[in-house]
């Protein structure tokens, strides 16, 4: 009986310690948040040559769309003038589609900014977005400047109809750089 009680106490102590450590580590730890998001969502199919910053930003944007999280999407904005309205528009237009397979075609070289075309397999929709460095800390974020719902859902006429057509090429991309 004493051995059983000792094992029970040991198991209880381990559970309490594990809970305390988990609470301490996960609180505000961006790497754990990213890992949790990654494991809870479908993988993003990537075409082209994203930078680490542009890839992470676009991945987070797709996750926020899939989660219907307009506030989280707006928080990724580099310039927040129209971020809230744009994020709401994007979530309404692409949120359901982002729960399915999504491919991201990255254009240009990506040291400072990248134009990215998202292809939503579930609905056949496409969306051109811009990931870039900016803000006070020069961190990667999104340009969210489409407060008009019609503009937010406009299909990019310059993009290939399917992912992989011309990703990460300077010629043919809208930036022309």
Give the model confidence (pLDDT) of 23-82 as tens digits: 444 456 666 677 777 667 788 999 999 999 999 999 999 999 999 999 999 999 998 789
Give the per-residue pLDDT at 5: 55
Q: Enumerate the domain spans of the chain.
A: 34-152
- As a whole number, the mean pLDDT across the chain is 81
pLDDT value for 41: 74
Tokens 């809870």, located at residue: 40
Structure tokens at 149: 């719902």
pLDDT band at 9 (very low <50, low <70, confident <90, very high): low
Distance CA 16, CA 8 (A): 12
Nearest 10 degrees: Cα torsion 88, 137, 42, 35: -130
State how far the Cα of 118 lies from the Cα of 140, in Å rounded to an integer: 18
| CATH, domain 34-152, list 2.60.120, 3.40.50, 1.10.3210, 3.10.450 | 3.10.450
Give the per-residue pLDDT at 110: 85
* The two structure tokens encoding residue 169: 């090429």
Structure tokens at 118: 């998202």
């Amino acid at each position: 009986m004493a051995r059983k009680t000792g094992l029970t106490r040991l198991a209880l102590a381990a559970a309490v310690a594990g809970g305390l450590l988990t609470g301490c580590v996960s609180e505000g730890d961006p790497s754990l948040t990213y890992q949790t998001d990654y494991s809870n969502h479908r993988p993003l199919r990537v075409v082209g040559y994203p930078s680490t910053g542009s890839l992470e930003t676009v991945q987070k944007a797709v996750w926020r769309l899939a989660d219907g999280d307009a506030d989280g999407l707006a928080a990724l904005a580099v310039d927040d003038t129209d971020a809230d309205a744009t994020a709401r528009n994007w979530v309404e237009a692409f949120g359901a589609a982002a729960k399915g397979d999504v491919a991201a075609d990255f254009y240009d070289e990506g040291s400072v900014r990248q134009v990215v075309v998202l292809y939503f397999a579930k609905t056949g929709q496409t969306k051109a977005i811009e990931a870039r460095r900016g803000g006070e800390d020069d961190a990667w974020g999104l340009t969210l400047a489409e407060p008009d719902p019609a503009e937010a859902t406009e299909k990019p006429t310059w993009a290939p109809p399917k992912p992989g057509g011309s990703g990460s090429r300077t010629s043919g991309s809208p930036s022309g750089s």
